[in-house]
Amino acid sequence: MKELEYQDIVQQVEKALQELNIVSPKLLRDKMLEALAIEDNDLAREMLSQVMENYVVAEERNLPLCQDTGMVMAKVEKGEEVRVKGGSLRQALDEATRRAYSNNYFRKSVISDPFFGKNTGDNTPGVYFFELQEGDNLRIDLLVKGGGCDNISSLGILEPGSKPEEVEKFILRELDKKGGQACPPLVVGVGIGGNAPYALYLASQALSRPLGEANPDPRYRELEEKWREDINRLGIGPQGVGGKVTCLEVRIETYPCHIASFPVGLVCNCHVFRQKTLKW
Amino acid sequence: MQERKEVILKTPLSVEEIKFLRAGDKVHLNGFIYVARDLTHQLLMEDLEKGKELPFSLSGSVIYYAGPTPTRRGEIIGSVGPTTSSRMDKYLEYFLSRGLRATIGKGERKEGVKKLLEKYGALYLLACGGAGAYLSTFVVEKEVLAYKDLGAQALLRLKVEQFPLLVAYDTQGGDIFEEGKIKYRDILLYNKIEGRS
């Protein structure tokens, strides 16, 4: 049995939440520079330039990259031989969120109930997904994203036996309609299989992976690359002003599915990709 | 193609000074703008129905759809980028009919908004989404006008200098999103997904 200290988890998650809201990773900056080199629409270039100025100002002035500092999402993979001393993982995540959001002037955007609630005042609770695994590892993938990009999430119920082209068509149609509202260039998560709720879950999990982490299956790697290129051929462009870069990455996650169903989940992340992975 | 213009505007805005602007033109905005998002609009409407007066004059005014982060001690404002405008479309005509001259936000708006802007002679301006820290550097003054306890949903008056914007919808039905997409999309791919091939 591996024992972990509750306070250690709180501190590390708090630090990660503080950083990811203010500091943009080098890989993201590189992708934006690449996009700037590709774009020839001066309006798209203007938007990308402001995005890059934003990285600098946020870090210099210790300001959040985006005013929408999100509802904290965490995917937690916990080994069965891991025990947390001094509190539960859920408590630790809430405590870390409370501290990070209260101490750093981040926006508190969570209300306690959709109909009857008030702002909780500390951005808790987050949305946490727990998965039990064998072994003694603990991995927490943190993801913070705004409401604007979450609002274009979509579920497609396709015909059983659908081909990749049909899934792609669904994604392209959805993004053509709504992609411009979600602050492109986007990171696009696609979940295929399981059942309807699980497909959305998979799409969301796909976004929790760090930038640049390739799909281990070469067949899906190829599809991810093709779909990214085709999304970019929609012409939506940065902030929807028209251009060649609408999508930074496509991530596909799959699961076995029922012979009568073919659910496809689509969940997107805006260009302010705020993700961190912690491991114990 | 028509050459893009770059202009400096100061609020309050008149129809005359904005009607020659076209989608895609660059605007550097100066003067006062009013910050309001979903709940702020809802509360303003409720107050107006109760017969209360608006805490600011709508004539020639500009509303910014945004909800900033809390302000650090000694600073003017936190991060303050635009939110998705289409959620505020249902309130738009009420304010336009009383003199609102421009709104600032991000993303395409719902059916009918362009017609309203033509009818009343008003602009929809695009600020860069996800650049809230950068955009905060153009704010020189902030005052809370109402709903202070709501934090990010409070009604604010900001004084801005050279606030960087693009004309998204103009007074003639021009649309930066549609024009951009049509120019840059691969028409064969587009026809295929629309089932026209």
Q: A62: which chain B residues are within 8 Å (Cβ-Cβ)?
A: 72
On whether both A135 and A9 belong to a single domain, the answer is: yes
Q: B196 pLDDT band (50/70/90 cuts)?
A: low
Query: Span A22-37, mean pLDDT?
Result: 96
pLDDT tens digits along A191-210: 999 999 999 999 999 999 89
In a domain, A94, yes or no: yes
On whether both A126 and A218 belong to a single domain, the answer is: no
- Nearest by Cα to B85 from B59, B60, B67, B58: B67
Q: Which of A96, A126, A144 is the last residue of a domain?
A: A144
Compute CA distances A212 → A25, A31, A145, A208, whole Å. 11, 10, 18, 12
Residues near B94 by beta carbon (within 8 Å), at least 6 away in sequence: B45
Alpha helices in A62-136, H assignment, sequence order: 89-103
Show me where the domains of chain B are located.
6-18+25-193
Q: Which of A144, A176, A205 is the last residue of a domain?
A: A144
- pLDDT of B192 reads 86
User: Number of folded domains in chain A?
Assistant: 2
Q: Is residue B41 among the annotated active site residues?
A: yes
- pLDDT of B149 reads 87
On whether both A209 and A124 belong to a single domain, the answer is: no
pLDDT tens digits along B52-101: 989 999 999 999 999 999 999 899 999 999 999 999 999 999 999 999 99
Distance CA A43, CA A39 (A): 9
**How near does any CA of chain A get to the CA of B147, in Å?**
14
- Looking at residue B82, the DSSP 8-state letter turns out to be B
In a domain, A60, yes or no: no
Q: A176: which chain B residues are within 8 Å (Cβ-Cβ)?
A: 190, 193
Q: A63: which chain B residues are within 8 Å (Cβ-Cβ)?
A: 69, 78-79, 132-133, 136
In a domain, A47, yes or no: no
On whether both A131 and A162 belong to a single domain, the answer is: no
CB-nearest to B184 from A109, A237, A271 is A237
CB-nearest to A50 from B83, B108, B134 is B134
- pLDDT of B151 reads 85
- 3-state DSSP assignment of residue A89: helix
C-beta of residue A151 within 8 angstroms of C-beta of residue A254: no
Could A63 and B78 be called an inter-chain contact, meaning their C-beta atoms sit closer than 8 Å? yes
On whether both A159 and A77 belong to a single domain, the answer is: no
In a domain, A278, yes or no: no
CATH of domain B6-18+25-193: 3.20.130.10
Select which of B41, B106, B109, B114 is catalytic. B41
Could A236 and B181 be called an inter-chain contact, meaning their C-beta atoms sit closer than 8 Å? yes
pLDDT tens digits along A212-267: 888 999 999 999 999 999 999 999 999 999 999 999 999 999 999 999 999 999 99
On whether both A78 and A185 belong to a single domain, the answer is: no
On whether both A194 and A109 belong to a single domain, the answer is: no
On whether both A235 and A104 belong to a single domain, the answer is: no
Query: Span A59-66, mean pLDDT?
Result: 97
On whether both A178 and A200 belong to a single domain, the answer is: yes
Return the residue in B35, B72, B128 with the most chain A beta carbons within 10 A, the one to mutate for interface testing: B128
Q: Which domain holds residue A201?
A: 147-273
Whether the link from the prior residue into B12 is cis, omega within 30° of 0, is: yes
ipTM of the complex: 0.95
On whether both A104 and A209 belong to a single domain, the answer is: no
Alpha helices in A83-131, H assignment, sequence order: 89-103
On whether both A114 and A204 belong to a single domain, the answer is: no
Return the residue in A39, A101, A239 with the most chain B beta carbons within 10 A, the one to mutate for interface testing: A239
pLDDT at residue B45 greater than cutoff 70: yes
In a domain, A50, yes or no: no
pLDDT at residue B193 greater than cutoff 90: no
Q: A239: which chain B residues are within 8 Å (Cβ-Cβ)?
A: 106, 126, 128-129
pTM of the model: 0.95
Return the residue in B69, B125, B147, B165 with the most chain A beta carbons within 10 A, the one to mutate for interface testing: B69
Percent of chain B exceeding pLDDT 70 equals 98
- pLDDT of B197 reads 52
Q: Which of A144, A169, A202 is the last residue of a domain?
A: A144
- Among A8-17, A158-167, B55-64, B185-194, name the one with the lowest average pLDDT: B185-194
In a domain, A37, yes or no: no
Could B78 and A67 be called an inter-chain contact, meaning their C-beta atoms sit closer than 8 Å? yes
pLDDT at residue B1 greater than cutoff 60: no
